[in-house]
C-alpha cells in the first residue's frame, strides 16, 4: 500500500514538473515571439513595406485597380537590380539592403500606371524603378538623398507620354482613409516624422475649406477631397520620408506647409492633377537650404537585418543577429 502511494506521489510530482516545464516553454515562446515582433518593427521601413503590400493587395482584390502584374514585376526587378548595382558601386563596404527598393517599387505600383500588357510593354515602370533608386545614390546632400525616390520617378515619367497617374481611382473612402491614416501614424511615429503628415494635411485641408468658403461651396466638397486615398498615401508614406525631410521640427513644418501650398496652387489654380508630386519635387529642391539654416544630425535608419531574430543570453537580454 505504501509503495502504491509512493508511486502515485511520484506520478503527481512528475505531472506537476511536466506542467511547469510546458508552462515555462509556452511563456518563453510567447516572450520570444514578442521580442521578435518588437525587433521587426524597430525599423519603420518594415511597417511601411507591410502596409504598402496590404494596400496593393486590397487595391487589386477589393477596389479593382488597374494594376497589372507585369508593371509590378518590372518596377520591382528594376529597383532591386539598381539597388544591387548602386551599393556595389557607391557603398561596397556595406551589406546589401533591399528594403528601400521594396518600398519604392510598391509605391510606384500603387501610384504610377503604364501599358503593362507584357513585360516588354512595362518598360516605363522599369525606367521609373531605375530612376528612383539611381537618384538615391547620385543626387545627395549631406549624406541624404535630395528627392523622394518614388516621387521623383513619378514626376519624370509623367513628363513622357508613356506613364500617368490615376489619383481619382482611389476616390473618397472614409473607412479606408481612417485605416490608412492609422497605419501611417504608426509608421511615421516609428520614423520620428509624424508631425510632417499632420502639418501637411492640416495646411492642405485649411486651404481647401477656405476655397470652399470663398466660392460658397458646401463643406462636404473639401471633406470628400481629404478622404482621397492617394492623398493619404502621399501624406503618410511619401512626403514623410525621414531621408528627404529636414531633421528639426520647425524646418519640417515649413517643408510640409510649403508642399501643401504648392500642391493646392498647382491643383486648383493651374489645374494640374499631378500637383502633389510636382509640389514635393519642388520643395525637395530647396530642402537643402533648410538643412543649412537649421543644422542638425542627419537621420539614419536603424542598422540591422530585414528579419530580426532575438537570441536569449544568460542574462535574459535580447540581442539581434
For the segment 66-87, the average pLDDT, to the nearest whole number, is 93
Helix (H, G, I), strand (E, B) or coil at 124: helix
Tell me how far apart the alpha carbons of residues 275 and 105 are, in angstroms, rounded to a whole number. 21
Which pLDDT score, from 0 to 100, does residue 318 have?
Answer: 36
**pLDDT at 296 (0 to 100):** 86
Whether 1 shows a pLDDT value over 50: the answer reads: no
pLDDT the model gives residue 147 = 96
Taking 80 as the threshold, does the pLDDT of residue 220 lie above it?
yes
299 and 248 Cβ atoms separated by less than 8 Å: no
Instruction: State yes or no: pLDDT of 17 exceeds 60.
Output: no
pLDDT one-digit tens code per residue, 83-135: 999 999 998 888 888 999 999 999 999 999 998 777 788 999 999 999 999 99
Beta bridge partners of 144: 141
Quote the pLDDT of residue 284: 96
Task: Give the pLDDT score at 227.
Answer: 85
According to the model, what pLDDT value does residue 38 have?
56
Q: Is 9's pLDDT higher than 60?
A: no
pLDDT above 70 coverage of the chain, percent: 74
**Which of 218, 209, 220, 199 has its CA nearest to residue 268?**
209
Q: Which range, 93-107, 182-196, 205-219, has the best average confidence (pLDDT)?
A: 205-219
Lowest mean pLDDT among 37-46, 208-217, 302-311: 302-311
The full set of domain ranges for the chain reads 67-165, 171-299
Q: How high is the pLDDT of residue 309?
A: 38
pTM metric for this prediction: 0.81
Q: Which tens digits make up the pLDDT trace of 260-309?
A: 999 999 999 999 989 999 999 999 999 999 999 999 888 777 766 554 43
pLDDT exceeds 80 at position 140: yes
Task: Return the percent helix, strand and coil in the chain, to nearest 5.
Answer: 65, 5, 30
Q: At what angle do helices 275-293 and 229-237 cross, to 10 degrees?
A: 20
Q: What is the pLDDT of residue 137?
A: 95
pLDDT band, very low/low/confident/very high, at 172 (cuts 50, 70, 90): low
Region 49-62: what's the mean pLDDT? 85
Quote the mean pLDDT of the chain: 81
Which of 103, 112, 125 minimizes the C-alpha distance to 244? 103
Amino acid at each position: 500500500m505504501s509503495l502504491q502511494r509512493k508511486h502515485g506521489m511520484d506520478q503527481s510530482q512528475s505531472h506537476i514538473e511536466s506542467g511547469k516545464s510546458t508552462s515555462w516553454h509556452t511563456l518563453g515562446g510567447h516572450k520570444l515571439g514578442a521580442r521578435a515582433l518588437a525587433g521587426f518593427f524597430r525599423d519603420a521601413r518594415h511597417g511601411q513595406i507591410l502596409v504598402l503590400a496590404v494596400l496593393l493587395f486590397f487595391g487589386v482584390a477589393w477596389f479593382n485597380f488597374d494594376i497589372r502584374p507585369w508593371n509590378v514585376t518590372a518596377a520591382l526587378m528594376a529597383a532591386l537590380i539598381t539597388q544591387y548595382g548602386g551599393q556595389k558601386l557607391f557603398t561596397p563596404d556595406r551589406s546589401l539592403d533591399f528594403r528601400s527598393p521594396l518600398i519604392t517599387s510598391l509605391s510606384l505600383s500603387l501610384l504610377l500606371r503604364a501599358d503593362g500588357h507584357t513585360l516588354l510593354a512595362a518598360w516605363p515602370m522599369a525606367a521609373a524603378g531605375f530612376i528612383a533608386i539611381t537618384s538615391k545614390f547620385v543626387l545627395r546632400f549631406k549624406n541624404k538623398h535630395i528627392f523622394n525616390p518614388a516621387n521623383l520617378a513619378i514626376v519624370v515619367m509623367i513628363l513622357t507620354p508613356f506613364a500617368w497617374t490615376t489619383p481619382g481611382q482611389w476616390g473618397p473612402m472614409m473607412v479606408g482613409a481612417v485605416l490608412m491614416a492609422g497605419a501611417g501614424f504608426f509608421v511615421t511615429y516609428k520614423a520620428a516624422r509624424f508631425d510632417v503628415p499632420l502639418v501637411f494635411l492640416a495646411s492642405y485641408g485649411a486651404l481647401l475649406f477656405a476655397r470652399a468658403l470663398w466660392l460658397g461651396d458646401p463643406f462636404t466638397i473639401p471633406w470628400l477631397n481629404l478622404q482621397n486615398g492617394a492623398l493619404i498615401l502621399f501624406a503618410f508614406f511619401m512626403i514623410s520620408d525621414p531621408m528627404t525631410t529636414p531633421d528639426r521640427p520647425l524646418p519640417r513644418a515649413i517643408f510640409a506647409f510649403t508642399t501643401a501650398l504648392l500642391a493646392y496652387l498647382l491643383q486648383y489654380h493651374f489645374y494640374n492633377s499631378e500637383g502633389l508630386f510636382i509640389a514635393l519635387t519642388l520643395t525637395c529642391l530647396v530642402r537643402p537650404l533648410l538643412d543649412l539654416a537649421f543644422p542638425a544630425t542627419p537621420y539614419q535608419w536603424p542598422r540591422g537585418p530585414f528579419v530580426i531574430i532575438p537570441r536569449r543570453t544568460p542574462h535574459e537580454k535580447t540581442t539581434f543577429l
